[in-house]
Amino acid sequence: MDAPKDTSERSVGLLSREMLPFLTLFGGQSISLFGSRLVQFALVWWLTETSGSASVLATATIMAVLPQVIIGPFAGAMVDRWSRRIVMMVSDSLVALSVLLLAYLYSAGGVQVWQIYLIMFFRSTMDTFQWPAMQASTSMMVPQEHLPRAAGLRQSAQGIVNIISPPLGALLLESLPIYLVLGIDVFTALTAVGPLFFITIPQPIRGGTTARGVLMDMREGLTFVWERKAILKILGIALLLNMLASPAFSLMPLLVIQHFNGGAIQLAWLQSSSGAGLIMGGILLGVWGGFKRRVDTAFTALMASGLGIIGIGLAPGNMIWTAIVSIFVFGFMNSVANGSFFSVIQTVIPNELQGRVFTLVMSSSVAVMPLGLAVAAPVAEVIGIRTWFLASGVVTIILGLYGLLNPQIRGFEDTLKAK
């Protein structure tokens, strides 16, 4: 087991020598994220061209979400008990093997839509373990005063990946067989797994590994969240956002084809613009750090992101550049909001509970996404995807305003102190 390590009293620069293990871990995971985004773009565009159906895209998204809902709470309890380094090594390795299998199926010419669904479900299952392990490891490796900047760095890295992978994916799909494009993810996964053999990741000391112990850990995490009404309200906001806004972005490929009369390259422009927004928002948060209350930063940015969503819905079919600008605004503000919120969680929740709390946040917030997608697909085919974007943007602004004005949520950082 990795040795525990206390970071609470250190005061080092984010880019100092002491931070080299974290930066090594972060770099490997960022390269792996690039491969994953490339695979995601290739598969989504293949499904769009093959089916042209909102229901197929919605089903694919549901298959990617279900593990977070079903397995997430168990995964969080296990991550808090297991070596987080081993969890990341195993999950990244298994994802690479699944992509290797899918590449073989494409090369053999026998891929069916249900197989894509299955691979998406499996990849999401591994991510359900990998994501909380990475989040909880960050708070053990980075001093608290640098957590907002680390969050900004992470958001910027995601933005860079989102800029590069869509146009590169579109270019590669035009020049290479899809199985060779998928093979890139296998190589990038190795860059995430390799460094984990050589770095130490601090681990809270915990005991017990029985099934009963895991269930009790889950209950402890649920009790912690249930007793903090501010967390419950934030989860409620996330739940509504994921039910309404997430389906809109899942149907973006159809918006490109049906409204903008575009193809893979136009979809790549939109996704790259969102990625550019993530970078700029991450840089801003990394340099600035946000308002004194990070929840104020998060919900102010959430309201502004709603304006970006509305802009996408209002974009005329012959002016795709207006949608590109709007999705940049969304990405920028979403980066600031997410980075601020997760830095709060990392600061106020005890390290030994973070795996459970992170997965509870993730599982709860996406629990209604399947319902939202199931409703969005047929409704969007009747009223149009643009209308769904407009409604989602309005609701996002309202929820951001509620979070900004609610006294319990605004006092979140003052009343929740990590023990």
Maximum C-alpha span of the chain: 61
**How do residues 15-43 score in pLDDT, each as one tens digit?**
566 677 888 888 888 888 888 888 888 88
- pTM, 2 dp: 0.66
**How do residues 389-418 score in pLDDT, each as one tens digit?**
998 899 999 999 998 888 877 776 665 544
pLDDT of residue 300: 92
Handedness of CA 288, 294, 300, 301 (dihedral sign): positive
Average pLDDT over residues 160-168: 80
Handedness of CA 141, 147, 150, 156 (dihedral sign): positive
Of the two residues 123 and 411, the one the predictor is more confident about is: 123
Q: 242 pLDDT band (50/70/90 cuts)?
A: confident
b/e per residue 187-197 (b: at least 16 CB within 10 A): ebbebbbebbe
Provide the CB-side half-sphere exposure for 71 (13 A, CA): 21
CA distance 249 to 76: 27
pLDDT of residue 52: 75
CA distance 240 to 392: 10
